Structure 1
Amino acid sequence: MLSQSWRVALVVFGLVFATATVAFIVSRIILVLERHFERTDNLWDDTVLHALRRPAIGFVWLQGVYWAAEVAHSYSEAEIFSVNDKLLELGFIGILVWTLFGIIKKVEQTLSSPLRMKEPMDYTTVRAISKLLRAVVAITALLTVMQSLGYSISGVLAFGGVGGIAIGFAAKDLLANFFGGFIIHMDRPFKVGDWVRSPDREIEGTVEEIGWRLTTIRTFDKRPLYVPNATFTQIAVENPSRMLNRRIFETIGIRYVDVGGITDIVDDIRSMLENHEEIDAKQTLIVNFLKFNSSSLDIMVYTFTKTTQWVKYHEIKQDVLLKISDVIVSHGAEVAFPTRTLHVADSLRIENEEAEARKGRSQRTDTDESRSDESRDQAADNGPVREPSGSGQTTTQGDEAES
């Protein structure tokens, strides 16, 4: 009742539908097994199953499409169906690589997870090993594919040996960065998440990623800094993240007039630090009178906090400094500030005092004379002036004029 093309189409459709059904069943079975194995103490069964679920579905589809293509090829002479076997082989290699990549990734996550491992491995080391394994899988797969396509692996390797020398000279910086990244992964001077800085270069920040060519560092102003790995083989690198304590190193100055109580002040500050709950008394703790400074008596305070956290360290340092201030005040002393005292010689002081006295007398004399002149001027303005006579009587200028 149906033509040959319709019959072939129905068979191909049936195979594809069956493939989809089998893929769905396989997915559900693996999902059920994953949930079951998650309740067990074994960490690796559910890890492997989770990595296998999608490649298994991909393999079912690859096999089903291959069978459908074979059915179509039996009724058709089209050239495209002649490469079914080769595509199946290449697809199988791809699914195998997909599976291995998934297993490597899941194992990496498991080994570095503090939620799944009691003692998780260092994330930087695990990631470096996983990158190396993925590179090995990719190179092996590439060579296998070339062999499947008819290329001679021995010829490829011979070409790589001869051409590798030229490539090495042309890409020496790239190779230097690659081996620099390898040395970082081997020596582990820092890892992802560490705070690093270099006294030789302007490099300081938090490590975000360690690649095979570049290391990404996020500076404290939130800018990314990309450093070639070869740089770390030539510079000194500090890793403050691995410090055991943070140091408080301060010089406190008090006034010279408080020299009598400096011994008690030093003893009380030392006692306060030894009993402070955030100060590590097992580390070096020094509180001593240091020197006679230009305007203060200097006391050195040298101690270490238990914490290494930057914010908490400053809170502890603030508390320590305020308590030191309280100790100083409790002894009736004060924290010194820059001052200067001027001493004048006795002879010069006497001369200055005599000059000031002469200046004062001169000013008083001038003042009396100016007052006399003002009085005479005022009397002349007010009218006739009476002058005493020998008989006790007075005459005026008007009377004399009439005489």
Structure 2
Amino acid sequence: MMQTFEEFWALVVDVWQQGVFGADVGHFITALGIFLAFFLLRGLVTRFILYEIKVVTARTHTPIDDDLVVALEGPIRFTFIILGLFFGGEFLRLEETPAVLADNLFRSLVTFNIFWLLFRLVQPLSHLFTPLEELFSPELVEWLLKILKGLIALIGGAAVLEIWGIKVGPMLAGLGIVGAAVALGAQDLFKNLIGGMLVLAEKRFRVGDWILVDGIVEGTVEKIGFRSTMVRRFDKAPVQVPNAEFADKPVTNFSEMTHRRIYWKIGVEYGTRIDQLREIRDGIEAYVLGEDAFAKPPEVATFVRIDSFNASSIDIMLYCFTRTTVWGEWLAIKEQLAYRIKQIVEEAGTGFAFPSQSIYVESLPSAPGDPAEADQDGPEPFTPPED
């Protein structure tokens, strides 16, 4: 029994001394302690130093420093993880294959952290692209930032693959062949992508605009994506419109209106005299030209004219523009205009016409037994005999 226990203890000592990858268990425990020390230091730095920096930046008037601190927080915290792994690995003094694997791992983590930092810095530094919004549009600048983020991620991934001996060049050549085949089957996707770029480059519309795409949708633009644009209809239903539709069909952007039009045909009775017509026309014109809510010539065209003789009315054309383009305000102005026109027509002593028809009958048939019927040429009416 004693000999068996001695053999077991010898096995434990051998495992303790040999450990894993040529390092004894004691070294592994020490390396783990080094890692935990850096992990605790990471928490202290985050809790005290970064917190104090956030307090200082919160007192400034610019949001750039606040965004920078938020962007740097993640990579800084991850740096302590890398340091803990690196110093712990150095203490183990690995050799041969384990040493190569550990070296590649540390290089990969450092590369990942650098490109992660660059990726997160794109958004805070986007304030530097603000002057470009005047040349292009905010949506196009946002697209450029997304493309920049994508390039950073791709380059970072390629750098990590190169560390592990994976050649990116042959992979890209192979992807080029596959991409050509995929492109043939994804023509609509690229067409939508190009359509979205044209929309942003030409500034046809932007987020928040009220647009009409003939035969497709009318509503407010909420999001312009790479493949499609989300337009929310006035019944609050969202519609995803492929960007290619904006390149193939005419798009009306009502948000770009400088004024809003009122175009009415006002029909008055045919019994209206000429002096009454003049009074009505002059009264409406004086109201439109005298109210500040309406734009005046030569800024816009304004007409109040006796226009045509309709089937049941004499039509007066009213063509004018309001200064506001807001729908609710425009409706209120139209309402007041309608009240005033009705008052003008009533004060002129006439009324509004409504659709009507007149039927003219040249003669009516006579009743049976009417003496006038006997004077008419034609056969006598048949009277059946009485029983």
Q: Shorter-chain TM-score category?
A: 0.7 to 0.9
Q: Which residue does 1:304 correspond to in 2?
A: 321
Query: Structure 2 CA distance, aligned partners of 1:303 and 1:254?
Result: 20
Match runs of 1:336-355 below 5 Å? 336-342=353-359
* 1:356, distance to aligned residue in structure 2 (A): 9.3
The residue type equivalent to 1:105 in the other structure is: Q
Query: Structure 2 CA distance, aligned partners of 1:126 and 1:191?
Result: 12
| Structure 1 length-normalised TM | 0.75
User: Is the contact made by 1:279 and 1:303 (CA closer than 8 Å) also made in structure 2?
Assistant: yes
The residue type equivalent to 2:180 in the other structure is: I
Query: Structure 2 CA distance, aligned partners of 1:98 and 1:330?
Result: 77
Q: Which residue does 2:238 correspond to in 1?
A: 224
Does 1:58 find its partner at 2:75?
A: no
Deviation per CA, 1:78-122: give whole Å up to 9, x if none. 97775222222222232233222322223448977xxxxx99984
Higher relative contact order by CA 8 Å / sep ≥ 6: 1 or 2? 2
Query: Structure 2 CA distance, aligned partners of 1:321 and 1:356?
Result: 56
User: Is the contact made by 1:37 and 1:46 (CA closer than 8 Å) also made in structure 2?
Assistant: yes
Larger-gyration structure (1/2): 1
SS at match of 2:305: strand
Does 1:235 find its partner at 2:235?
A: no
Q: Which runs of 5+ in 1 are unaligned?
A: 113-117, 360-403
- Taking only aligned residues, the RMSD between alpha carbons, in angstroms, comes to 3.4
Once superposed, which parts of structure 1, at least 4 consecutive aligned residues long, lie more than 6 Å away? 76-81, 109-112, 118-121, 355-359
| Structure 2 length-normalised TM | 0.77
Q: Which residue does 2:6 correspond to in 1?
A: none
* 1:263, distance to aligned residue in structure 2 (A): 0.4
* 1:271, distance to aligned residue in structure 2 (A): 0.8
Distance verdict in 2 for CA 1:193–1:108, change over 3 Å: farther
- Of 79, 83, 108, 2:101 maps to 83
The residue type equivalent to 1:24 in the other structure is: L
Deviation per CA, 1:220-276: give whole Å up to 9, x if none. 233232222223222211111211121111111111222231101111101111122
Q: Which runs of 5+ in 2 are unaligned?
A: 1-12, 17-23, 374-387
Does 1:187 find its partner at 2:207?
A: no
SS at match of 2:139: helix
The residue type equivalent to 1:317 in the other structure is: K
Query: Structure 1 CA distance, aligned partners of 2:67 and 2:328?
Result: 39
SS at match of 1:336: coil
Match runs of 1:3-402 below 5 Å? 5=25, 8-10=28-30, 12-26=32-46, 28-71=48-91, 73-74=92-93, 83-108=101-126, 122-199=137-214, 201-259=215-273, 260-281=275-296, 282-342=299-359
Give the number of aligned pairs.
346
* 1:344, distance to aligned residue in structure 2 (A): 6.4
Deviation per CA, 1:329-385: give whole Å up to 9, x if none. 12222111123445666xx69x98xx99989xxxxxxxxxxxxxxxxxxxxxxxxxx
User: Is the contact made by 2:140 and 2:197 (CA closer than 8 Å) also made in structure 1?
Assistant: no
Query: Structure 1 CA distance, aligned partners of 2:371 and 2:292?
Result: 65
User: Is the contact made by 2:304 and 2:319 (CA closer than 8 Å) also made in structure 1?
Assistant: yes
Deviation per CA, 1:119-149: give whole Å up to 9, x if none. 9984312311111111211221222122122
Distance verdict in 2 for CA 1:230–1:202, change over 3 Å: closer
